[in-house]
Chains A and B, each alone.
Chain A
Amino acid sequence: MADMTLRQWLLTDTPTSRRHAKLSALYQGWLAFRSNTMAMIGLGILLLLVFIAAAAPLLAPHDPFVQNLGNRLAPLGSEGHLLGTDSLGRDILSRLIYGARITLYIVALVALIAPVVGLLVGTVSGYVGGWVDIVLMRITDIFLAFPRLVLALAFVAALGAGIENAVIAISLTAWPPYARIARAETLTIRSSDYIAAIKLQGAGGLRIITKHIWPLCISSLIVRVTLDMAGIILAAAGLGFLGLGAQPPSPEWGAMISEGRRFILDHWWVATMPGLAIFTVSLAFNLLGDGLRDVLDPKAGE
């Protein structure tokens, strides 16, 4: 026991405690995940993105908001401006670096709100059943049948443009699939023997849902959220592009494309660079999501 390496300890067939078993399962999942090169690339890109966002003030060569009209629309590789400057002479690279913060902020908020709402609706619907189930699932169906982008547009129109409202609008259109998944999981879990056992011990509905059903729904929700992240980024960028998300002079990537659109034929890099950034990040989320799905939910693959 004493001369066991950490690796052996993690890969043991005879775990000594609950925590040991949990860590062991986690480690084995990680090993499976690690062998998926594409997923690792995705993870690497996202870690890099988080680092860039966190260290933005240190990494950015210029202030993203400072205008220099004497040096506007400078091409790629100009002195001091690796990715050139935009129509107001702002350094594009610096704006991209600061824009990473906005992208992460939006994605993180939506990824917190939508699945939690879905989890609540789905588990309650599945556990309580009866009329509650019928009503909640009808509402879910109705939202599921809506065209998402157009509905988000209408929401933003009502709430007013801005990042927070864009987040609310995207979340409002994103929660139904999570509710469906959570309900399906709940229905299978609800009838299992261990839930009956807990009930006999006197556990109430609230305790069963929060302590015993939620933890089991989490893994399929995580996979779905990761796969949805790309869509969330694209929707947020789309709203920004339409002028309904982040407002100028905020360096949001979609808004930057919209700004560069006017010069696309003569100064292509202004719109191209933020587009590449959006593409890279949503590609990374898709790769990571595929990899996670293979590890956590192998049946859902091919």
Chain B
Amino acid sequence: MALAEDSGKGRVRASLPPWIKTTILTIGSIAMTMLGLLFVTFIIGRVMPIDPVLAIVGERASQSTYDAVFLELGLDKPLIVQFGYYIWDVLHLDFGTSLLNARPVSEDIARVFPATLELATLGIIIGIVIGVPLGVVAAARKGSWIDQVARVLALVGYSMPIFWLGLMGLLIFYGILGWVGGPGRVGIFYVDVVPSVTGLILVDAALDGNWDVFKNAFSHIILPASLLGYFSLAYISRMTRSFMLEQLSAEYITTARVKGMSEWDVIWKHAFKNTRVQLITVIALSYANLLEGSVLTEIIFSWPGIGSYITTALLSADMNAVLGGTVVVGLIFILLNILSDLLYRVFDPRAK
């Protein structure tokens, strides 16, 4: 990242194409934002009431052991130097060791992350498949009952505590109806049955050809994924609707209608086509929100993802794990944000 910045600076002065300047500015702002994130987590780690040395050596360690670890952690250095060390460590994906199980935090995160990824991905797919058509139809039939339904769905979605809706879902679909699997990723008899290749159980089971496991895993993931899907569809359908309304009021739509084009073609081939760029950014944003928003959902469904990991670590004051998890979620969140911005620039000719 630093290299790209350095090598680019000379070229800007030579006033080469503007896209190079934009690229440098973008990379610079990515670097700034990430540095900001690291600074905040670093500060959080420093103001914490937990003594990082005591947490490692324990309360009965002698003063000399304490001092040795104190020096080893670099705590005698000025804060700015410590911050430098911290950045260095993070760049090497070293978040320290977990105080609970003495394993490197990065290993733990790599182990739990696929669970979150699987959940959020299925969630966003549900959100797109239902949310986009709902938004398009709501815009095309503005004021109709479908528009009203979409409006209410979105309003309820914005007002509902996700963890409570999850509990109600468990109560109704698992407790009373028995339609879906309960908490966890798979039933207890299916744990570790298929070899973990990708860490995504649905994919692993399919690769292994073990459809029993696939079915079981699906029955466990469908409820939390639908829950996340609902919250993203609330947002996606509203945004789709307003993008579509904007397009449908444009003059080229009137022209197309005057030419006698069928309403279906007007809506899907003309208006919808022009909302795709904006939609991509909206979807990338809600995907980022899902990765983050799955914290509470994971707790409700005992889903062993990164949200559960951070919360469990939090409750047992395992700060390396908390900060490591926060940094990883934060970095992914920032990257998706930037990606949505880039996609917008790449696909929208006007933005060039």
Contacts and interface: CB of A to CB of B under 8 A. Distances in A.
B329 A147 contact: yes
Name, among B170, B242, B295, the residue most crowded by chain A CB atoms within 10 Å (CB to CB). B295
Nearest to A231: B158
B283 interface: no
B108 interface: no
A75 B310 CA distance: 35
Contacts of A148: 292
A139 B32 CA distance: 9
* Contact-residue size bin, chain A (C-beta under 8 Å from the other chain): 35 or more
B33 A153 contact: no
B261 interface: no
Nearest to A243: B315
A279 B164 CA distance: 9
Interface string B308-324: 00110011010100110
Contacts of A278: 161, 164
Contacts of A254: 161
Contacts of B159: 230, 234, 279, 282-283, 285-286
B171 interface: yes
Contact of B242 (A139, A261, A302): A302
A196 interface: no
B167 interface: yes
Interface residues of B, number: 52
B323 A154 contact: yes
6 nearest interchain CB pairs?
Answer: A142-B36, A275-B164, A147-B292, A283-B159, A282-B159, A265-B175
Interface in A149-169: 149-151, 153-160
B281 to A, nearest CB: 14
A93 to B, nearest CB: 18
A147 B287 CA distance: 12
14 contacts: A142-B37, A145-B37, A145-B337, A149-B295, A150-B325, A150-B329, A150-B333, A153-B311, A153-B314, A155-B44, A156-B314, A230-B159, A261-B300, A302-B245
A193 to B, nearest CB: 33
A244 B317 CA distance: 12
A232 interface: no
